[in-house]
Structure 1
């Protein structure tokens, strides 16, 4: 089968013929109908995240936002059958650890990140293996577009978990979203859908216009603003109740925390780059005096995907609205390179392999 393989960090992925996967007894193989191209793939391509143990080895297949059709089923799988349409989270869990048993499989103690760890080759490929499939694969309703569902592997569900499950907000609260890439635009759309007043922050007017299209009431161009937190304080009459760092660089994290009103809540979704290597300086004294909360958010538990699917069915949410373009597997190296200069918008999705 054809796949996009990492041979050297920072060099274009190679489109190669590789061995097709075979299912483990508890696994399935899906034919990949669509796979999002995420900024996390860019980090993997650059060789980032060795500081958290998520640097993929060379020779690895990247890609972690798949939707596809089950074509082979392991003998121990009970919930899935050939022909099922599924989405696959990047946070592959084992279902046996205390976190999994308590409903927090997105932070499984034995988590394997799809497309990043050696045992789980990714989905920039014609087929992909899903281990512990009864635990991890999410069956999709009939008639949904695989392209629209590709973001359920990572960005859309990550934004949903951060905004809906981890944040503490009410309808009418001001929410600031820092960074309008795929996860940031998803957060804008979701926060607006549940009744928040959203301020979107980015350096790019085109991305800010897209944020307005997805529900942002106000925007701040950080390239044209001397003090982003002060601008948000003015727009929100004292600061946001919730502020989301959807990018992960020091500046957006610090701006997010400083954009909050008293007893506000910062939600960290973006992971850091080589510049920060996992650590960002924060205004801790101000956080103490204003009782600011700092909350991390990572992936989402598969059993909760139904919350999104019900909102999609009702028309409240539309993951396809965040999809910017569809491309072929051969386009993946160029799309990753474009992310080096933040030249992609929304979620590019591979739909031709």
Structure 2
């Protein structure tokens, strides 16, 4: 199969032929029809994630069709349209059994702990715990958009911050996860302030319902937010840097809730955040790292009802070759939505591979 391969951290990505994976015990092989290009993939490329095996194939947001299932799999068979959370639980531990597979100690993450979905095929673990059926009326590109950024934003607001109608939410960063957060916050009845360094991204946030937008051009973001609403009830850092996490937390009113979604690269061993403010103002500092398959039904119900439309967040669809060119600079790219890769787009017409 064709895959985007990294030989070592910060290597020039190459699209080349590699063996098709086999289904692991209790797992499946999926033919990838759509997979998102995410800032988290850039972190893996940059070498910020411990335990990434090199040479490596990144990619963790995906949707496709099952082509092979291990004998132990009971719920899935070849031909099933599926997606999967980017964190796959083991299906056996106490956290998985109580529906919290996103914090499973034995979790697998395609594109991080094993080869991912920037390829024509991907192997997925513990299929009966982690796979989610994609209805025929849902496009594969839309389903792929759910696996990391959209589902993470949904859990950040619903499961972690427990946003209420009428509350103010400050969203720092208006890329894929930030725009997802804006859309979901508005669907929950919240009032949204979006912050980004690119006007194109802010225009997209405004179109999705952000009541106010702030250009991060060196201004004092917390002061600007406070001038608008006296401080937000909830803040979300959808970027992941010392500056953005501090801006988000300092934008809160007293007793506010901050959710850290963007991954923070280590600074002298640990990221720096203003915990003195968190203590003095009794702020809640919450992490949100994906969403278990068990929590998808409520989100999918809102999508089916039309209250949420993740397909509107898809900015473009590209092939593996273009993805290889974009990945090294994705942390500084001007992004006003979700970029989706279709591994079949630039496949030579004479070539066919399908293990099914």
TM-score scaled by structure 1? Answer: 0.94
Q: 1:251 — aligned with what? A: 243
Q: 1:138 — aligned with what? A: 132
Task: Give unmatched runs, 5+ long, in structure 1.
Answer: none
1:277 deviation in Å? 4.9
Q: 1:30 — aligned with what? A: 30
Q: Does 1:322 align with 2:322?
A: no
Q: 2:354 — aligned with what? A: none
1:149 deviation in Å? 1.0
Q: Contact 1:250 / 1:276 at 8 angstroms: preserved in 2?
A: no
Question: What is the DSSP-based 3-state SS (H/G/I as helix, E as strand, rest coil) of the residue aligned with 2:342?
Answer: strand
Question: What is the DSSP-based 3-state SS (H/G/I as helix, E as strand, rest coil) of the residue aligned with 1:70?
Answer: strand
Q: Contact 2:163 / 2:188 at 8 angstroms: preserved in 1?
A: no
Distance in structure 1 (CA, Å) of the matches to 2:105 and 2:322 = 35
Q: 2:349 — aligned with what? A: none
Query: Which of 218, 227, 234 is 1:234 aligned to?
Result: 227
1:352 deviation in Å? 3.7
Q: Does 1:98 align with 2:94?
A: yes
Distance in structure 1 (CA, Å) of the matches to 2:157 and 2:12 = 34
Cα root mean square deviation, aligned: 1.4
Q: 2:110 — aligned with what? A: 114
Question: What is the DSSP-based 3-state SS (H/G/I as helix, E as strand, rest coil) of the residue aligned with 2:45?
Answer: helix
TM-score scaled by structure 2? Answer: 0.93
Distance in structure 1 (CA, Å) of the matches to 2:175 and 2:70 = 37
Distance in structure 1 (CA, Å) of the matches to 2:89 and 2:198 = 36
Question: What is the DSSP-based 3-state SS (H/G/I as helix, E as strand, rest coil) of the residue aligned with 1:112?
Answer: coil
Distance in structure 1 (CA, Å) of the matches to 2:33 and 2:274 = 42
Query: Which of 299, 322, 326 is 1:331 aligned to?
Result: 322
**1:276–1:304 CA distance, 2 compared to 1 (3 A):** farther
1:95-244 → structure 2 map (5 Å cutoff)? 95-117=91-113, 120-223=114-217, 225=219, 227-236=220-229, 238-244=230-236
Distance in structure 2 (CA, Å) of the matches to 1:223 and 1:277 = 28
Task: Give unmatched runs, 5+ long, in structure 2.
Answer: 345-356
Aligned length: 344
Distance in structure 1 (CA, Å) of the matches to 2:99 and 2:302 = 21
Distance in structure 1 (CA, Å) of the matches to 2:310 and 2:270 = 29
Distance in structure 1 (CA, Å) of the matches to 2:309 and 2:185 = 13
Question: What is the DSSP-based 3-state SS (H/G/I as helix, E as strand, rest coil) of the residue aligned with 1:11?
Answer: coil
1:326 deviation in Å? 0.2
1:90 deviation in Å? 1.3
Q: Does 1:348 align with 2:344?
A: no
